[in-house]
Amino acid sequence: MPKHYGSLRRLSSLIFATLLPLLAIPSQADTYQFPKVPVPADNPMTPEKIELGKQLYFDPRISLSGAVSCNSCHNVTGNGTDNLPLSFGVFGRVDTPRNSPTVFNAAFNTVQFWDGRARSLEDQAEKPIQNPIEMGMPSGVAVVDRLEQIPGYREEFAHVFGDKKPITFHHVVEAIATYERTLITPDSPYDQYMAGNKKALDPSALSGMKLVEATGCETCHAGPMFDNTGTPMGTGFYQKFPSQPDYEPCAKYVKQYNLHGDEGRYKVTRKAADKNLFKVPTWRNVALTAPYFNYGTVQTLPEAVKVMAACQLRKKLSEKEVADIVAFLNSLTGKFPQQTLPQLPQTPDTTLLMGVPALTKAADKKMAH
Return residues touching ligand HEC (CB under 6 A).
68, 70, 72-74, 87, 89, 96, 98, 100-101, 103, 106, 109, 112-114, 121, 124-125, 128-129, 134-135, 176, 212, 215-217, 219-221, 239, 241, 243, 278, 280-281, 286, 289, 292-294, 304-305, 308-309, 312-313, 325
Please state the closest distance from residue 43 (CB atom) to ligand HEC, in A: 14
Please state the closest distance from residue 335 (CB atom) to ligand HEC, in A: 19
Q: Which is nearer to ligand HEC, 26 or 60 (CB)?
A: 60
In contact, 279 and 116? CB cutoff 8 Å: yes
Rg of the chain, C-alpha, whole Å: 22
Please state the closest distance from residue 350 (CB atom) to ligand HEC, in A: 24
Please state the closest distance from residue 351 (CB atom) to ligand HEC, in A: 21
Angstrom distance (rounded) from CA 286 to CA 185: 12
Q: How far is CA 316 from the centre of its chain?
A: 29
Please state the closest distance from residue 332 (CB atom) to ligand HEC, in A: 10
Q: How far is CA 268 from the centre of its chain?
A: 18
230 φ, ψ (degrees, to nearest 5): 110, 25
Angstrom distance (rounded) from CA 224 to CA 318: 27
Angstrom distance (rounded) from CA 51 to CA 46: 9
Q: Which is nearer to ligand HEC, 72 or 192 (CB)?
A: 72
In contact, 184 and 337? CB cutoff 8 Å: yes
Please state the closest distance from residue 148 (CB atom) to ligand HEC, in A: 18
Q: Which is nearer to ligand HEC, 19 or 263 (CB)?
A: 263
Q: Which is nearer to ligand HEC, 26 or 40 (CB)?
A: 40
Q: Which is nearer to ligand HEC, 26 or 112 (CB)?
A: 112
Cβ partners under 8 Å of residue 165, min gap 6:
none
Angstrom distance (rounded) from CA 306 to CA 293: 13
Q: Which is nearer to ligand HEC, 122 or 191 (CB)?
A: 122
